[in-house]
Chains A and B, each alone.
Chain A
Amino acid sequence: MTADLSRRHLLSSVGGVGFAGLAGCAETELGDTETAFTIVPGSDPTGAGDSWDNWGGMTPYWTRVVEPLVWGTEDMQPQPWLATDWTATDETTWVFELREGVSFHNGAELTADDVVHSFEEDILTERGDFVHGWLHVEPGGVDRIDDYTVAFETTDPFPGFPGTIAHNMIDIQPPEADRRAGDIIGTGPFELAKMDQGQQLRVERFPDYWGGEPAPTELAFRAAEDATTRTDLLEAGEVDLVYEPATSRISGFRDRDDIRIETQQSSGSRFVSINIHRAPTDDTDLRRALNYAVSQSEIVDTVLEGIGEPAHGPISTVIDWAADESLPRYDRDRDTARELVSQSSYDGEALTCLVETDMDDGRTLVQILQKAFKSIGVSLDIEVLEKASLQDRTDRGEFHLKLGESQSNSPAADYIMWENFHTMGIENKDLYEAEGTGLYNLGGEVDDLIETGFQSYDATETRESYIAAQRAIMDAAVVIPLFYEEYVVAADASIDGLDLHPIDKFAQWGDLTRTA
C-alpha cells in the first residue's frame, strides 16, 4: 500500500512538474502585466515556413520593430514616416527627404546611406527578382543625394511608387544589421528582445523612438494560426488581444462584458475569379448567369454572421478608386440566370472550382456557390487544394472558377488591378506568352485603361481609368464578387488605445493601455 502510494505520488509529481514545465515553456514571459500585452496576430509573427518575408525568425509585420520610409493613412494614402516628403522630379525619378533625428535601436542615426544600403544590398538584391517588378526599381536605381535626401530611379513612369513602398517589407535597417541571421535593428517604437521560432516574439519599448515613447513596456506576439486556438487563448485569459477570432464565437463575445470586439473594413475583397479562356466559362452569358445566381447579402448575413459587406466588384471600397456603386449589378435573379444559361454554350458538364485548404470559410463558401449554381442548372465540382497544388493548377489554367481574395498590404493597391486583370499581370502573363490566352484578362481596352491608371500622375485620370476598367470587367462578368472583407479583433475589455487600420498589419500599439 505504502509502495503504491509512493509510486503514485512520484508519478503525480513527475507528471505535475512536466505539465508545469510544458505550460511554462508555452506561456509568455512578460514583466509588468499592467504595461505589457500579449497579442495574437492572424498570421505567424515569427514567419515560420515563409522565406521571402521572414527576417531570420521574425516577419516585418505586426511588431513595429522595423519601419518603411512611407506609411499609409486610414483612407489608404501615402503618409510621411521615415521620409517627410517626396517629389517626382521627372517621370521616372522620385526624390525623398528623410526625417532627421531618427535613431536606430543601436543608437546610430538614420541617414541616406542606410536607405541606399537597405534598398541596394537587401531589398533589391536579396529578396528576389519579383521586387524589381513590384517596385519598378532595378539594382543601382537608388542614389544618395545628401545625408537626408535619396533619389529613386524607376524603370518606367510609376506614380504609385510612394504608396507602394509604404509596406512593412520595405524596411530600413543599418549595414550593421543582419536580417537573415535575425539580428534586426530597426527604427520602430519597439525593439526585438527574444524570438522563439514558430512560438512567439517578445519586443520591448524603445525609449528614443522618433514618434515619442510608446506606452507599453513590452509586447509579446504569439503564433496561433488556427482561429479556434486564438479564440481559446483569449477566453482562457492567456492573451490580451487576438486577430480574427473564430467567426462562430464572435456573437457570443459581443454579449460579454469582459471582452470587447472591434471590426474594421480591410483592403481585402473575396471573389470568385472566372477563367475566361477555357470553355464553357469563356461564354459571357454563362458568366453573367453565375453572377445572377449568387446572393452576396445572404452569404454575409448567414455564414459570415454579418462580418463583411456584400460586394459588387473585386476591389475593396476602402481603396479610393473602387467602383462599387457604379458597377453593373447582378442582384440574385434565378430566372434571368436560367435564361442566360440556356442561351450560353453550357452543355451540362461540371465546372471545376478551386479553393485553398487554409482559406477561412473557404469550404463553406464554395458549397453555397455549388448550391446556387445547381439552382440554375449548372453543376460544380469542388476541389480543395493546398497552396502549392492550387498555384500549380492555376498556372496551368486547368480550372473554371477559383475562390480567391485580393488584399493590399500597402496604400497603393494598383497592383491588384494590374496583376489580376492586365494581360501582363502575374496571373495571366505565363499563359498569354505560352498560348496567347491568360486567365482573367480581357485585353484590349481594359489593358489600356489599367495602364493609364497605373502610369498617370493625375489622380482624377487614374481614378476614372480604374473605374472604367472595373466596369468593363464586371460587364463581362470576369469575377463573381462576394464580399468586402472586415477583420475582427477581440480583446480584453480593459484594454484601451487600439488603433486599427484598413491594412491589418499597419496596426500601431504605442497607445495601448490597461484600465483598472
Chain B
Amino acid sequence: MSGVSGVLGSVGTTVRRRYRALRTSRKVAAFCANPLNVVGLALVVAIAVAAAVGPFIAPYDPTTQQLTNRLQHPSLAHPLGTDQLGRDVLSRLLHGARLSLSIAVAVTGIRLTLGTTIGLLAGYAGGWTDEFLMRLVDVQLAFPGLVLALVIAGILGPSLRNVMLALALVGWASYARLVRGTVLTTKERNFVRAARLLNVSRFRIATRHLLPTVAGPVVVLATLNMGTVILGTAGLSFIGLGAQPPTAEWGTMLSDGRHHLRSAWWIANVPGVAIMLTVLGFTLLGDGLRDVLDPKRDATIEKLS
C-alpha cells in the first residue's frame, strides 16, 4: 500500500514539475503569445476529442436509413439535420472525424517515416547514395501530388486503403529533402565530429545525434501536412475514389450533399465546414510550432550564448 502511494506521489511530483516547466517555458510562452496559435491548437484538440469520443456520443448509427425522415432541417432530434437517406448528419460527422483524423495520422506517419529515413540516409551517407536518392526525390516532386495520387488511386481501385497508400506514396519527398538538408548542416558540427572521433557507430550517430536535430522541422512539416492529407482524402472520396458508401467520410458526405445545396444546405455544408476548420486548425498549429521550433532560432541562440 505504501509502495503504491509512493509511486503515485512520485508520478504526482513529476507531473507537477512538468507542468511548472511548461508554465515557465519560453517556448510555450512564445507559442501562446500569438492568439492564432492558440486558436489552431484549440481547433485541433476539439477535432481530436470529437474523433476520440464522437462515435460513443453520436446519437444515431451513422448508416441507419430512415427514408421517411429524409432531408429534415436541423432540429433537437437531429441537431445537424438528416441527409437524402434520412441519416443523422451529426452522427455521420462524428464518425467521419475519427476516420479523417485516423487517415491523416496514418498517411502522415508513413510519409514522415519514409521521408525521414531516406533523407537521413542521403544526407549522412552522401556520394552516390545521396545522388540517387535525391534524383528520386526530384522525380517525385516533378509530379503534381494530388494528380499523381489520383492516378495511383485510380489504378489501385476505389477504397480508403488505396487512397491512404496513394497519398502516402506521393508526400514523402518533402520530408526527405528537409531532413537531408538539416543532416548535411548538422553532420559538420563539432558534437558530431567529436562522436566520430570517439568511434561511435554510424547508426548511433544517425539515431542519437542527427535524428533529434531534425525532429523540430519534421514535426512542423507533419502538422502542416495533416491538413493537406485531410483535404486530399476528402477530395479523392468526393470523386468516388476513396470511401465507399455507406461509410461516413467527410468527402463522400460533401459529394452526396452537393445536389441538395439549395434545399438541404446542411448536408454539404456541415462536412465542408468541418474540413475547413480542421485544415485551418492544423495550418495555424503548424505555423505556431514553426515559430517555436525553428532550428535557425536555436542556432542563433547557441551562437549568441
Contacts and interface: CB of A to CB of B under 8 A. Distances in A.
B245 A382 contact: yes
A33 interface: no
Interface string A242-278: 0000111101100000000000000000000000000
B244 to A, nearest CB: 5
Contact of A386 (B68, B154, B255): B154
Interface in A188-240: 227-228
A368 interface: yes
Given A298-B67, A384-B245, A247 B259 contact: yes
A367 B84 CA distance: 11
Contacts of B68: 302
B65 A367 contact: yes
Nearest to A252: B263
The winner among B68, B157, B240 for most chain A CB atoms within 10 A is: B240
B243 to A, nearest CB: 9
B193 interface: no
B245 A370 contact: yes
A170 interface: no
Contacts of B70: 302
B262 to A, nearest CB: 6
Given A246-B259, A248-B264, A363 B245 contact: yes
B85 interface: yes
Contacts of A370: 245-246
B276 interface: no
A228 B261 contact: yes
Given A228-B259, A246-B259, 5 more contacts: A248-B71, A302-B68, A382-B246, A383-B244, A384-B244
Contacts of B259: 227-228, 246-248
Contacts of A298: 67
Contacts of A252: 262-263
Interface in A363-404: 363-364, 366-368, 370-371, 381-386, 389
Interface in B233-267: 239-240, 244-246, 255-256, 258-264
A381 B256 CA distance: 18
Contacts of A366: 245
6 contacts: A248-B71, A248-B264, A252-B262, A382-B245, A385-B158, A389-B157
A459 interface: no
Nearest to B83: A364
Q: How large is the interface on A (under 10, 10 to 19, 20 to 34, 35 or more residues)?
A: 20 to 34
A367 B154 CA distance: 22
A357 B239 CA distance: 8
A367 B263 contact: no
A513 B303 CA distance: 83
Contacts of A371: 65
The winner among B84, B239, B256 for most chain A CB atoms within 10 A is: B84
A386 B67 contact: no
A20 interface: no
Nearest to A246: B259
B245 A386 contact: no
Contacts of B244: 381-384
Interface in A259-309: 298, 302-303
Contacts of B262: 246, 248-249, 252
Interface of A: 227-228, 246-249, 251-252, 298, 302-303, 357, 363-364, 366-368, 370-371, 381-386, 389
A302 B84 CA distance: 9
Contacts of B256: 363-364
Given A298-B67, A384-B240, A367 B246 contact: yes
B158 A367 contact: no
B67 A368 contact: yes
A37 B194 CA distance: 82
Interface in B72-100: 84-85
Nearest to B242: A384
A364 B65 CA distance: 11
| Nearest 6 pairs of A and B residues by beta carbon | A357-B240, A302-B67, A384-B240, A248-B260, A248-B263, A382-B245
A366 B63 CA distance: 13
A249 B265 CA distance: 12
Contacts of A383: 157-158, 244
A121 B135 CA distance: 52
A357 B154 CA distance: 12
A349 B255 CA distance: 29
A228 B258 contact: yes
Contacts of A382: 244-246
Nearest to A227: B259
A302 B262 CA distance: 18
Contacts of B263: 248-249, 251-252
Interface in B25-78: 65, 67-68, 70-71
A359 to B, nearest CB: 10
Contacts of B264: 248
Contacts of B157: 383, 385, 389
Contacts of B239: 357
Nearest to A384: B240
A367 B260 contact: no
A371 B85 CA distance: 11
B261 A367 contact: no
A247 B264 CA distance: 12
Interface string B202-240: 000000000000000000000000000000000000011
Contacts of A363: 245, 255-256
The winner among A247, A249, A364 for most chain B CB atoms within 10 A is: A364
Nearest to B244: A382
Contacts of B85: 303, 364, 367-368
A302 B83 CA distance: 12
